[in-house]
């Protein structure tokens, strides 16, 4: 069994380093601490079947059947689980060309996805193409910065949703990428892209302060990191005040470990993204102590292959 250790020092408190050996295992046992497991995917791009055995990059990897088996296994182990996707469900295999995304949404519904945001490729059959597929999904589409009011998508998305797990309130909101220059105008029509920084500042504050969420999660299709001024998850995290976790997409970034940053208020923000095509499932475990308000985070990733393992 291989094992790798990573050490992060970006969050060293000014008083120095603290031993974590005081982590209250007894508290977890006595249920003072709630464990919340967040599983996530992004950019699955219609990859329903595993890559074929002769694929030069990902031979035999991925596939929704095995992802479902993995998720079911974790569901049996974890009481408080959220399953989220950061967009670009559509486009990438003939399943999309032939069925327009119907099977993708049906499978995600069956797997028990709690929410999904909208990626640029989810517009690939136009607004009508997306709207027509929504009845196949039993989970909400969460996006706060696309104004669909003058389109057929009006009223078919929600800006945020609050999930409650054993008294822990988790506010999830979504952000989409700028469409101009990325998606043909004929596909996105009268959708208005609103500044994600402004929108997220407002929504995340509302979630944390007005709706008293213990955790604020951003489902982002902005992309992990750009060299240019273009907004990305890294920049969003640094300018934010209330986001705890950003589940990213778009750039197909395989992060070997989540990225930890400090926000504007010097509080931590976690960013994670798990590549594309359902090759990996991300996992972040939050341990929330309801009494002391302390939390501890544990992250895990799964590569979806014959030995659903970890790489």
Of residues 163 through 182, those in contact with another protein by CB under 8 A are 181-182
Residue whose entry in the numeric block shows the structure tokens 């979504």: 174
Residue 309: CB minimum distance to another protein, A: 4
- Is 55 one of the binding residues for another protein (CB under 8 A)? yes
3-state secondary structure of 76: helix
- The length of the chain is 311
Cβ(156)–Cβ(132) below 8 Å = no
Residue whose entry in the numeric block shows the structure tokens 């959708």: 191
Using the minimum distance from each CB to another protein, give the nearer residue, 112 or 159: 112
For another protein, the binding residue among 27, 99, 194, 197 (CB under 8 A) is 99
Residue whose entry in the numeric block shows the structure tokens 């003058």: 150
- Is 30 one of the binding residues for another protein (CB under 8 A)? no
Partners of residue 216 on adjacent β-strands: 171
- Is 194 one of the binding residues for another protein (CB under 8 A)? no
- Is 45 one of the binding residues for another protein (CB under 8 A)? yes
Residue 8: CB minimum distance to another protein, A: 4
- Is 57 one of the binding residues for another protein (CB under 8 A)? yes
Which structure tokens are listed for 233? 């998850």
3-state secondary structure of 236: helix
Using the minimum distance from each CB to another protein, give the nearer residue, 142 or 271: 271
- Is 238 one of the binding residues for another protein (CB under 8 A)? no
- Is 135 one of the binding residues for another protein (CB under 8 A)? no
- Is 76 one of the binding residues for another protein (CB under 8 A)? no
- Taking residue 75's Cβ as centre, other Cβ atoms within 10 Å add up to 15
For another protein, the binding residue among 185, 202, 212, 264 (CB under 8 A) is 185
Q: Which stretch binds another protein (CB under 8 A): 146-154, 195-203, 234-242, 255-263?
A: 255-263
Q: How many CA atoms lie within 13 A of 124 on its CB side?
A: 18
Using the minimum distance from each CB to another protein, give the nearer residue, 23 or 154: 23
Those residues whose C-beta lies under 8 Å from the C-beta of residue 280, and which sit 6 or more positions away, are: 41, 254, 274, 301, 302, 303, 304
Q: Supply the DSSP symbol for 52.
A: P
Residue whose entry in the numeric block shows the structure tokens 């931590």: 268
Using the minimum distance from each CB to another protein, give the nearer residue, 175 or 303: 303
Please list every residue from 4 through 23 that binds another protein, using CB under 8 A. Answer: 4-13, 17-21, 23
First-last CA distance in the chain: 11
- Is 119 one of the binding residues for another protein (CB under 8 A)? no
- Is 225 one of the binding residues for another protein (CB under 8 A)? no
- Is 63 one of the binding residues for another protein (CB under 8 A)? yes
- Taking residue 181's Cβ as centre, other Cβ atoms within 10 Å add up to 6
3-state secondary structure of 51: coil
- Is 212 one of the binding residues for another protein (CB under 8 A)? no
Using the minimum distance from each CB to another protein, give the nearer residue, 18 or 210: 18
- Is 138 one of the binding residues for another protein (CB under 8 A)? no
Of 248, 254, 233, the C-alpha closest to 88 is 248
């Amino acid at each position: 069994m291989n094992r790798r250790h990573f050490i992060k020092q970006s969050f060293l408190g000014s008083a120095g380093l603290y031993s974590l050996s005081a982590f209250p295992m007894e508290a977890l046992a006595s249920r003072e601490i709630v464990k919340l497991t967040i599983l996530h995917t992004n950019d699955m791009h219609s990859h329903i079947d595993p890559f074929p055995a002769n694929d030069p990059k990902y031979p035999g990897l991925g596939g929704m059947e095995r992802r479902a088996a993995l998720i079911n296994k974790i569901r049996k182990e974890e009481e408080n689980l959220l399953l989220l996707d950061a967009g670009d469900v559509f486009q990438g295999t003939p399943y999309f060309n032939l069925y327009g995304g119907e099977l993708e949404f049906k499978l995600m519904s069956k797997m028990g996805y709690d929410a999904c945001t909208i990626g640029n490729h989810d517009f690939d059959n136009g607004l009508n193409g997306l709207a027509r597929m929504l009845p196949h999904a039993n989970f909400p589409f969460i996006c706060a910065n696309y104004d669909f009011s003058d389109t057929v998508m009006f009223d078919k998305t929600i800006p945020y949703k609050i999930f409650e797990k054993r008294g822990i309130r988790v506010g999830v909101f979504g952000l989409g990428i700028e469409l101009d220059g990325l998606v043909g105008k004929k596909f996105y029509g009268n959708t208005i892209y609103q500044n994600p920084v402004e929108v997220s500042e407002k929504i995340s504050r509302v979630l944390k302060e007005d709706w008293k969420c213990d955790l604020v999660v951003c489902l982002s299709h902005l992309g992990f990191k750009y060299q240019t001024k273009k907004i990305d998850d890294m920049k969003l995290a640094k300018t934010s005040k209330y986001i705890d976790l950003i589940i990213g997409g778009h750039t197909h970034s395989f992060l070997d470990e989540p990225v930890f940053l400090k926000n504007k208020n010097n509080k931590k923000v976690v960013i994670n993204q798990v590549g594309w095509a359902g090759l990996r499932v991300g996992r972040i475990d939050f341990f929330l102590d309801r009494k002391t308000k302390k939390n501890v985070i544990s992250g895990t990733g799964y590569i979806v292959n014959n030995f659903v393992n970890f790489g």
